Structure 1
Amino acid sequence: MRSYREELWFNTPTRVAFVRITDQVAAAVRKSGVREGLCLVNAMHITASVFVNDNESGLWHDFEHWLEKLAPHAPISQYRHNDTGEDNADAHLKRTIMGREVVLAITDGKLDLGPWEEVFYGEFDGQRRKRVLIKIIGE
């Protein structure tokens, strides 16, 4: 069995952002040389997410507004976490809702995604540098 590791780095200009990373993940699969296996993609920060969904702008709008209703940023005093001087409790909650990671199948040397499926990085406390781990194992 072989393994491969790569990191992607992000620094979004906005607090909340969704970034399509399907092509970067597919490129890592090609570099790995793995033909049959699994690809783990996970956000290495507790206020960011990796998930699979459709690449459609209306959906990104819906995600952003839905998450803000579930875990509004303001007032920051509503969260005990923010009593420590932080202002990002909502970002931790949004990350929990959207998920930390995805595990993707690799078949015949390619990501084995369903119709319309794309891989995304979700940022909920942006404007600083964060990373995503890609870990590939297989044969």
Structure 2
Amino acid sequence: MKIKSELLNIETETGIQIYNLTPKVQDWIERVGLQNGQITLFSRHTTTALAINEYEERLLVDIKAYLNKLAPENDRYLHNDLHLRVVPPDEPMNAHSHLMAMTLSTSEVIPVMDSKLALGTWQSLLFFELDGPRQRTVLVQALGEFE
């Protein structure tokens, strides 16, 4: 068994955005030659998340609405009292983004069989930007049999 790792770079747009990482990850699997094993994906930010679900336009709208109901941007949050803590000059008021990220996940583990992600018919690997626009990275690490 071998291990290969890489950081995937993602340039995100403003607000809440949901990206389908499936093609990018599948391309990486083929590039590194993973035949069988598993990949772990890890989001390296406190206001992003990962999930496996359907990447369907109306569902994405529903997901964004659901997250906004859980943690509305305009609610009162102590984390947003920027004058009470030491922060960089460009620090955003983003407590709602942290709370949304906590309801999701920072990582996913997916089996790989015959150099293909072993996802179900409607499953996609989703990356959630909850505080964009930003430059983001996702660690992808493969464990398994390589060509």
Greater CA deviation, 96-105 or 30-39? 30-39
Structure 1 segments of 4+ aligned residues over 3 angstroms from their partners = none
What is the CA-CA distance between 1:28 and the residue it aligns to?
Answer: 1.2
What is the CA-CA distance between 1:32 and the residue it aligns to?
Answer: 2.3
What letter is aligned with 1:20? N
Q: Is 1:96 aligned to 2:141, yes or no?
A: no
In the alignment, which residue of structure 2 is the partner of 1:24? 24
**Which structure 2 segments of 5+ residues have no match?**
84-91
Q: Is 1:39 aligned to 2:39, yes or no?
A: yes
2:115 to 102, 105, 109: 109
**CA RMSD for the aligned pairs?**
1.3
2-side partners of 1:61 and 1:34: how far apart?
34
Q: Deviations over 1:49-81 (max 9, x none)?
A: 111110111111001011101001113xx1111
What is the CA-CA distance between 1:37 and the residue it aligns to?
Answer: 0.9
2-side partners of 1:61 and 1:46: how far apart?
22
Q: Do the aligned partners of 1:2 and 1:34 also contact (CA within 8 Å) in 2?
A: no
What letter is aligned with 2:135? R
Q: Deviations over 1:75-95 (max 9, x none)?
A: 3xx111112354111111111
TM-score by length of 2: 0.87
TM-score by length of 1: 0.92
Q: How many corresponding residue pairs?
A: 137
What's the % identity of the aligned pairs? 31
Partner-residue secondary structure (3-state), 2:120: coil
What letter is aligned with 1:45? H
Spell out the pairing of 1:1-139 with structure 2 (5 A cutoff). Answer: 1-75=1-75, 78-84=76-82, 86-139=92-145
Partner-residue secondary structure (3-state), 1:59: helix
Q: Do the aligned partners of 1:51 and 1:98 also contact (CA within 8 Å) in 2?
A: yes
What letter is aligned with 2:62? D
User: More strand per residue: 1 or 2?
Assistant: 2
2-side partners of 1:55 and 1:105: how far apart?
19
Asked which structure has the greater CA Rg, the reply is 2
